[in-house]
A and B are shown apart, each in its own frame.
Chain A
Amino acid sequence: MLPQPETLTAQQTPILEMRGITKHFPGVIALQDVSFDCVPGEVHALVGENGAGKSTLMKILSGAYRPDAGELVVRQRPVVFDHPQAAQQHGISIIYQEFNLLPYRSVAHNIFLGREPMRGQMVDERRMVQDTAALLEELSVKINPTALVSNLRVAQQQEVEIAKALSLNADILIMDEPTAALSLHEVDSLLELVLRLKRRGVTIVYISHRLDEIFRIADRVTVLKDGRVVTTAPIAEVTRDDLVHLMVGREFDTYFPPRARPEDIKGPILELRGVSSGSSLKNVSLTLRRGEIVGLAGLEGSGRTFLARVLFGVERLDSGTILLDGQPVRFRNPQQAIAAGVGFISDDRKAEGLVLPLSVRWNMALPSLNRRQKMGYIQRSAERSMVQMLSESLDLRAAGADQEVQYLSGGNQQKVVLAKWLATQACLLIFDEPTRGIDVGAKAGIHQLMRRLASQGVGILMISSELPEVLGMSDRILVMRQGSVVAEFPGETATEDMIMKAATGLTTNGANGAEGAEV
């Protein structure tokens, strides 16, 4: 079923080529003369800021858009993709950022959706399950073919998606930010799977913001900027700094703003004593001081987000004490938390951060509505000037304060989310993956803003799965595992290695490793 392994040589004829692809949208050139190729069995990384044209390129490859000029060549034959299956028929499969599975159908049903094996007029359920089992086995993936997808973990769902792509006899796989929703060790196993596929001769176009992943698996890398190809080079010939430089077109002397000086850190703003909740949080104690950024590291499912949601009144607290600015608090809902000065920037902008069909102004004003009202009447001028001020200070790029947020880019959407919470003048801000899915330039802006807030006396708790971010931003780093805080490091001296070991439990109990950490 899978293609035979081949050895990669630079002279090989490409299996997939884009030649001079140009795509215009009204007023915008999304892609300008983009040429790009992949040879069989290659992992070709595609990087670029948000808005650089990656998603347009993807949509052309998937048949959702047709290019204005240029041609697509697959296996030396020019092709035109004009419907969603066209790419599939040419052996190209796309693994999207959002999962494309039916939650209430089984793994086998999902994999064979749209091309169920038939016996006469009936679907051959038994063969479907057998084929699925064989397929998963080939990929060394342990999943029950009859399990409902909704009962699988995120990483398993992704494996099902990859299995589905391969079962379509795809030998060209396009992966769009595949690790965005994965925890650290799940990323590892995914990258291993990618390498296994590559050894089998599958060609992979790998789109990711995480440069360290690219250096681990890619053969070549292509950088897109403003709709053009800036460079294509073998990975061995570029450095991390080169890539960042090419993507944003400017040097980053330091990726992160300087840390807080000891004299900037004031009294505690948040103290937790023995906080427990169900099986998700066990006896968590921590202190966060004004002016300080504390990084919260750990695997997905280690309780970090759950802790944030307890602090914000979304999840219940079973026992323990939370002191906010010295006062014991127990929030039963987000209203109370917000009133007390807590802000929570969720990791899922679209689902939890924004009301997409509403305007920039209405979104920004939402959590702080009560600050600008009299008997329920909204003081519009105060609201307008607040929005104006925040838009300027965050350098928000929008067509106007009345533009619907759904039409903004990811980075600008995140700025609207930040503005919401700045407007509440919170004294404690909890960031959950503050820069997930955001391009390098916007990232730096958000990091600087976080540091500025801290220096103004706001306490910041930052949950992040990106170790460079944790190491670069935090004054102190706390590591969670299985619902408890298991380690604390000073931000200055911590290393990725130390955090990983604490997060997976290797320091305390070698046997209870990565597998055990995932509940």
Chain B
Amino acid sequence: MESTFSTTQTPIGQRLRRLLSKVPVILIVLLVVLILIALVAPTFYRPVALLNFLKRAAPIIVVAIGQMYVMLSGEFDLSVGSLITVCAAVAANVINNNPDNLALAFVWVFGIAIVVGLINGLIVTRLNVPSFVTTLGMLLVLQGAISIYTRGAPQGGITDNFRVFGRGNIEGTEIPYAFVIMLLVIAIGVYLMHFTTFGRRVYAVGGNPVAARLSGVNVGRIKTTAFVLSAVLAAVGAVLIAGFSGVSSLSVGQGYEFQSISAIVLGGVALGGGRGNIAGAVMGALTLQAMFSLLNFLGFPLPIRLSVQGLIIIGAVAIAARRGRT
């Protein structure tokens, strides 16, 4: 593009190969899984079933996008799973089977999320505690706190006007609310990450916090904001999950911390920050969910999902390492 930059002409074959080497692994994996599903369960590709699939995938995509900001800035958020549980249980408690309490429930859910994100961020940035330890501690605190608050099992109950976000369709259509919310979150996520100064600074902080600081980036504020975003999107995820599957136990959010990290790792974010993008995270989450569907179609017991999840994240990172992109 620029005149000072050397532009080299290369034969088409070499260019094609270079282009291919730029195709993210995750896209190939996703395609393979989708093809396998097509072979096993062709009905999957009817529009209604597809939308249903996307509805199921929505929470993990939403949570993964939040986790993405934290990981890009060079940290982890292991507390999202228990935060989802807390949000769902609190919603059930506040609504308490009365549809009029919907607004109040949202205030509580997002209020708690913002506070938790802030605390995570401040402990990591002000007290310099590694995020692994901080969010692990937060996980324990949230888990204990919600158990005390609910005396071990969810109280109250959520009403249909709350559940509609997770399981309902927009009136008169086949389009789930969850799908729309997911698209909205993706849009906002992409905008923040790739078009704003905030996104730029997240990458800089993850890539080299010292250089970022000396370039006028408020490292603490950027990381804290990332943690708050992660927590808020976990709360959005909680609304979707609670709507979809109800709040029957204190394990609704279990596994989401690792699922979101797996999705992002699959999507090609370098651990330690500075590299990756939203598209990768979304594809990673879709792949994970598609893989779960495939296992379902094949009739495997539910826990095998975990095994497959374990294998693919190791595989994904190993392949990325081979390509020298980690």
Chains A, B in direct contact (C-beta < 8 Å): yes
Contact call A377/B275, Cβ cutoff below 8 A: no
Contact call A355/B204, Cβ cutoff below 8 A: yes
CB 8 Å contact bits of B203-247 with A (1 = contact, 0 = none): 110011011111111100000000000000000000000000000
Contact call B2/A366, Cβ cutoff below 8 A: no
Contact call A395/B4, Cβ cutoff below 8 A: yes
A356: CB under 8 A from chain B?
yes
Contact call A358/B207, Cβ cutoff below 8 A: yes
Of B117-125, B138-146, B194-202, the stretch lying at the interface with chain A is B194-202
Known interface pairs A356-B207, A358-B203, A376-B196; A388-B212 also in contact (CB < 8 Å) = no
Bound CA–CA A275/B62 (angstroms): 51
Bound CA–CA A377/B191 (angstroms): 9
A272: CB under 8 A from chain B?
no
Contact call A344/B218, Cβ cutoff below 8 A: no
B274: CB under 8 A from chain A?
yes
Known interface pairs A355-B203, A357-B275; A334-B213 also in contact (CB < 8 Å) = yes
Bound CA–CA A373/B201 (angstroms): 13
Contact call B207/A376, Cβ cutoff below 8 A: no
B20: CB under 8 A from chain A?
no
Bound CA–CA A351/B209 (angstroms): 9
Please give, as numbers and ranges, the residues of chain B lying within 8 Å of A312 by CB-CB distance. Answer: 214
B1: CB under 8 A from chain A?
yes
Contact call A362/B204, Cβ cutoff below 8 A: yes
Contact call B200/A355, Cβ cutoff below 8 A: no
Number of interface residues of B (CB under 8 A): 28
B6: CB under 8 A from chain A?
yes
Please give, as numbers and ranges, the residues of chain A lying within 8 Å of B213 by CB-CB distance. Answer: 314, 333-334
User: In this complex, what residue of A is CB-closest to B192?
Assistant: A376
CB 8 Å contact bits of B1-38 with A (1 = contact, 0 = none): 11111100000000000000000000000000000000
Contact call B197/A370, Cβ cutoff below 8 A: yes
Contact call A369/B214, Cβ cutoff below 8 A: no
User: In this complex, what residue of B is CB-closest to A335?
Assistant: B216
CB 8 Å contact bits of B304-326 with A (1 = contact, 0 = none): 00000000000000000000000
A132: CB under 8 A from chain B?
no
CB 8 Å contact bits of A326-347 with B (1 = contact, 0 = none): 0000000111011100001010
Contact call A314/B214, Cβ cutoff below 8 A: yes
Please give, as numbers and ranges, the residues of chain A lying within 8 Å of B204 by CB-CB distance. Answer: 355, 358, 362, 366
Of A81-89, A96-104, A398-406, the stretch lying at the interface with chain B is A398-406
Contact call A400/B1, Cβ cutoff below 8 A: yes
Bound CA–CA A56/B323 (angstroms): 23
Residues of B within 8 A of A (CB): 1-6, 195-198, 200-201, 203-204, 207-208, 210-218, 270, 274-275
Residues of A within 8 A of B (CB): 312, 314, 333-335, 337-339, 344, 346, 351-358, 362, 365-367, 369-370, 373, 376-378, 388, 391-392, 395-401, 420
List 18 other contacts, CB 8 Å, given A333-B213, A366-B215, A369-B200. Answer: A346-B214, A351-B210, A353-B214, A355-B203, A355-B208, A356-B208, A357-B274, A357-B275, A358-B204, A366-B201, A367-B215, A373-B196, A376-B196, A388-B2, A391-B5, A398-B5, A400-B2, A420-B215
